[in-house]
């Protein structure tokens, strides 16, 4: 599931770009980290460590998004 791990293939990536966030922005980097974590889970759903990494990455992305932090 390479597409799941690739944040660039997510609709959210293009939305972030439309709002003016470049690939080097902290928000896009957090979004990409979340997708990498999703890709790890897709490869092994029984890996509880991967789930924790994904939850952390999602939380970081949402906090930055909701907090308006770049």
Digit-coded pLDDT (tens) for 38-55: 998 888 878 788 889 999
Instruction: Answer positive or negative: Cα dihedral of 52, 53, 54, 58.
Output: positive
Residue 6, pLDDT > 80, answer yes
Structure tokens at 48: 């509880």
Mean pLDDT of 9-16: 94
Instruction: Measure the CA–CA gap between 58 and 70, rounded to whole angstroms.
Output: 15
Report if pTM > 0.75. yes
């Amino acid at each position: 599931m390479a597409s799941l791990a690739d944040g660039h293939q997510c609709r959210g990536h293009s939305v972030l770009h439309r709002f003016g966030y470049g690939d080097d922005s902290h928000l896009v980097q957090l979004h990409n980290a979340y997708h990498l974590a999703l890709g790890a889970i897709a490869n092994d759903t029984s890996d509880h460590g991967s789930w924790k990494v994904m939850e952390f990455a999602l939380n970081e992305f949402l906090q930055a998004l909701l907090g308006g932090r770049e």
